[in-house]
Amino acid sequence: MQTTQFLDDAEIAFEQHGDGRPMVLLHGGMAPKEYWTPVRPHLEGYAAIVPQRPGFGTCLDAPAETSAADVLSREVEYVRALTDAVDGDPILFGHSFGALTALEAASEMEVEAAVAYEPAILPEGFRREADLADRMADLVEDGNPREAVKRYIEMVLHPDGIDDLDAWLESWPVWPECVNLVEEVIRMNRAVEQYRLPNRLDIDAPILVLSGTDGPDFLRESARAVHDALPRSRFVEFDGVSHSGPSEAPKLVTAEIEAFLAE
Flag whether the pTM goes above 0.85.
Answer: yes
Model confidence over 169-201: pLDDT tens digits? 887 766 777 787 788 788 888 888 888 999 999
Provide the phi-psi class of 169: left if phi over 0, else alpha when psi is between -120 and 50, else beta: alpha
Model confidence over 22-56: pLDDT tens digits? 999 998 877 667 789 999 999 999 999 988 765 55
Min mean pLDDT across 2-6, 126-130, 143-147, 224-228 is at 2-6
102: CB partners within 8 A, 6+ apart: 24, 26, 79, 92, 93, 94, 114, 115, 116, 119
Domains present along the chain, CATH in parentheses: 2-122+197-262 (3.40.50.1820), 126-188 (no CATH)
How far lies 217's CA from each of 22, 173, 198, 199, in Å? Answer: 32, 26, 20, 20
Mean pLDDT score of the chain, rounded to an integer?
84
If residue 152 lies in a helix (H) or strand (E), which one and from where to where? helix 145-152
More confident residue, 72 or 2: 72
167: CB partners within 8 A, 6+ apart: none
51 near 78, Cβ under 8 Å? Answer: yes
* CA 54, 210, 251, 160 torsion-angle sign: positive
- Most confident among 12-21, 55-64, 141-150 (mean pLDDT): 141-150
More confident residue, 127 or 40: 40
